[in-house]
Copies of this chain bind each other. A is one copy, B any other.
Amino acid sequence: MSYNTYRHEDELKATIQTLTHGTAARRMCHLHLGSEPLPNWEMIGDIITLCRSLIFPGFFGNDDVNAFSLEYRIGIECEQLKSALENQILAGLCIEQKSRTEAETISLQNRAEDIAQQFINRLPDIRQVMHTDVEAMYDGDPAAVSHEEVIYCYPAIRAILNYRVAHELLLLGVPIIPRMITEAAHCETGIDIHPAATIGERFAIDHGTGVVIGATAIIGRNVKIYQGVTLGAKSFDCDADGNPVKGVPRHPIVGDNVIIYSNSSILGRIRIGDNAVIGGNMWVTSDVPDGEMIVQHH
């Protein structure tokens, strides 16, 4: 719209050169071997939609499914899911093994295909455990009107479903994609569950914004947590260079039937005993015995 686009032509060219050739460019830029793209957020989104649709047909994805078309739709969606997973798992594996021969590439393709199929084989079990999560969430919320409302409207269902899908992929050795799947739920719901966490059935989260569950956390069955709860690390061991040592268990173990109210932080490799209740806004850094209830005093 301006009358002279090029008043700043020299400056613009200089910046383009700096951004292209500056040393930082090389470190920050994802350098590709033959233009291989990273796993793609949009395709990860498609994978999530397909998983949700296969686990809760009629609620997510294909909203006009019916008894007649159910098998056809599940057939198509399984095939689409397999194809999308193969493609994205391969992209993930290629990050880990950037320099490789053609034979190694073909081997990675086969591995991606195998993993995709193994994941799909796990879908009926994921659906089964999600079923228990829905029941737990309905049973525990006086405001819940129906199972349908829980599945369709509760953000925690979407966050837990993404976690359960991501956790299976992580167990199958898939890099980066599990993290992308739980981050997608984090962005959508404010619930941040690390895909490496271990979580039992009948898991309920109410409201959920601000929940954080760390990578080495272990959660029993029938646990319920509220918004703003952190199951985090208290501190971590550092190596000789002052960097944190990776892979050490550093998040809590939570027993069965535990309830943790809003905005409490449970930190470190401590154990919250079965049937314990943690009040809101608590800062807990040591073990809590079975059945104990702890609350803030003021």
* A117-B176 contact in complex given A76-B73, A263-B265, C-beta closer than 8 Å: no
Query: How many residues belonging to A are interface residues under a CB distance threshold of 8 Å?
Result: 139
Contacts of A152 in B (CB 8 A): 38, 176, 180
Contact of A142 among B37, B40, B151, B250 (CB under 8 A): B250
Contact of A24 among B127, B196, B283 (CB under 8 A): B127
B86 near A230 with CB under 8 A, answer no
Task: Give the complex CA separation of A21 and B267 in angstroms.
Answer: 43
B110 near A2 with CB under 8 A, answer yes
Interface positions of A from 158 to 184, Cβ below 8 Å from B? 175-176, 179-180, 183
Task: Give the complex CA separation of A134 and B155 in angstroms.
Answer: 28
Contact of A298 among B187, B209, B248, B283 (CB under 8 A): B283
Chain B minimum-CB-distance residue to A69: B79
A1 near B1 with CB under 8 A, answer yes
A75 near B74 with CB under 8 A, answer no
Determine if A5 is an interface residue (Cβ-Cβ < 8 Å): yes
A57 near B86 with CB under 8 A, answer no
A115 CB to nearest B CB, Å: 11
A11 near B70 with CB under 8 A, answer no
Per-residue interface assignment for chain A, residues 270 to 298, with 1 indicating a CB less than 8 Å from any chain B CB and 0 otherwise: 00000000011111000000000011111
A298 near B282 with CB under 8 A, answer yes
Contact of A58 among B15, B31, B65 (CB under 8 A): B31
Contacts of A212 in B (CB 8 A): 207, 209, 227, 262
Interface positions of A from 1 to 47, Cβ below 8 Å from B? 1-9, 11-12, 15-16, 18-20, 22, 24-25, 27-35, 37-38, 40
A72 near B70 with CB under 8 A, answer no
A113 CB to nearest B CB, Å: 6
B131 near A214 with CB under 8 A, answer no
A37 near B20 with CB under 8 A, answer no
**Would you give 28 A-B contacts (Cβ < 8 Å), ordered by A?**
A5-B35, A8-B114, A9-B68, A12-B78, A12-B79, A25-B70, A32-B66, A35-B83, A38-B63, A38-B152, A69-B79, A72-B76, A76-B76, A95-B146, A142-B247, A143-B196, A186-B209, A187-B188, A190-B190, A192-B227, A210-B263, A226-B230, A232-B262, A263-B263, A263-B265, A267-B280, A281-B283, A283-B296
Closest 5 CB pairs of A and B: A30-B58, A72-B75, A8-B117, A142-B244, A283-B296
